[in-house]
Amino acid sequence: MWGLFVQIFPYVIAYTIPMLITSLGGLYSERSGVSNLGLEGLMLSGYFATAFFIKMTEPLMPHGLSLVLGLAAGVVCGMLFSLLHAFASINLKADQTISGTAINMLAAAVTVYAARMITGSGNIPILMGIVRNDIPVLSKIPAVGPLLFARSYWSSWLALGIWAFSWWLLYSTSFGLRLRACGEHPSAVESAGINVYAMRYFGVLMSGALSGLGGGIMLVTYSGEFNGSVAGLGFLAIAAMIFGQWKPLGILGATFFFGFFTTLANVSQVIPALGSVPTVIFKVFPYVVTLVALVFSSKHMSAPAADGVPY
């Protein structure tokens, strides 16, 4: 059993990381008081931009540089898309649910439209993603070493770094306090002389940047090809944020939880002990678990008080 665990663990991490970073993006937005249902679309825009940029630059520059710039392109593209949401929900006080839905549909349509013009088929494959590496010394630690530090992507460490930084930024700095206050009681923040609009713009743009990065990481780790959909991962990220009660540590736990069960579903066929269970059970399992998790965590919501309320 332990052997199996060690075997699938790198896949669990690979699957969890894009969801974690996207969910974290959602946290910035919702903590600043703007609900963001467009994570799926923002993620998709990053997914596309990264694929497009890497495809264009692959022959021109060293592999590693192309990947880094590709991820950066994903971040920028996610931010540009999130500007639409920020403008609608902050300046125009629009219905944020509708605006988020529009972002999802717009990203789905525009990216495939562009991909079709570029490759004809609507898919953009890249030659090579990030290569898995053992981290020297650390991967030799018994038990923990092979689990966490063997065959890992550098992007996973980047994402975890951003997660830790965000936790510090949101909970240990006065800037973080102000940002969170904008999601709880914006008029109090305004009376303290802080620009609520600017803070909310920051929150929404961060959600775009991180979701775009999430989509990009998904591309350069386990996907390897833009195919027009991130398969509901953005929505799972929202569910994880709610399940994680809008807290960094909760989000880490929730996304890992989903990542673990989805990976289990994907590998169930090749594991003799699980092979006798119909695959459909595993396929629907993460979604059913999400529903059940929400049933238990939604009663006592700790959502930011002014989340989704225009100011």
Residues that bind another protein (CB under 8 A): 37, 84, 87-88, 92-95, 97-99, 101-106, 108-110, 112-113, 116-117, 122, 232, 235, 238-239, 242, 278-280, 283-284, 287-288, 290-291, 294-296, 298-299, 301
Instruction: Pick between residue 69 and residue 106 the one whose CB is nearest to another protein.
Output: 106
Smallest gap from Cβ 123 to another protein, in A, equals: 13
d(CA 70, CA 127): 13
Instruction: Pick between residue 145 and residue 253 the one whose CB is nearest to another protein.
Output: 253
Smallest gap from Cβ 299 to another protein, in A, equals: 6
Specify the DSSP element, H or E, that contains 124.
strand 124-125
Smallest gap from Cβ 117 to another protein, in A, equals: 6
For residues 84, 93, 229, 67, the Cα torsion angle rounded to the nearest 10 degrees is 40
Which residue do the tokens 């540009």 mark? 80
d(CA 100, CA 234): 12
Smallest gap from Cβ 228 to another protein, in A, equals: 9
Smallest gap from Cβ 283 to another protein, in A, equals: 4
Smallest gap from Cβ 231 to another protein, in A, equals: 9
- Cβ pair 296, 242 in contact under 8 A: no
Give Cβ neighbours of residue 91 (< 8 Å, ≥ 6 apart): 197
Sign, CA dihedral 27-93-205-39, equals positive
Q: Which two tokens stand for residue 38?
A: 């467009």
Number of other residues whose CB lies within 10 A of the CB of residue 187: 10
Smallest gap from Cβ 86 to another protein, in A, equals: 12
Instruction: Pick between residue 101 and residue 245 the one whose CB is nearest to another protein.
Output: 101
What SS3 state is found at 133? strand
Instruction: Pick between residue 77 and residue 108 the one whose CB is nearest to another protein.
Output: 108
- Cβ pair 67, 82 in contact under 8 A: no
Instruction: Pick between residue 174 and residue 299 the one whose CB is nearest to another protein.
Output: 299
**Residue 138 DSSP code:** G
d(CA 293, CA 117): 42
- What's the N-to-C CA distance of the chain in angstroms? 53
Instruction: Pick between residue 93 and residue 140 the one whose CB is nearest to another protein.
Output: 93
Instruction: Pick between residue 120 and residue 142 the one whose CB is nearest to another protein.
Output: 120
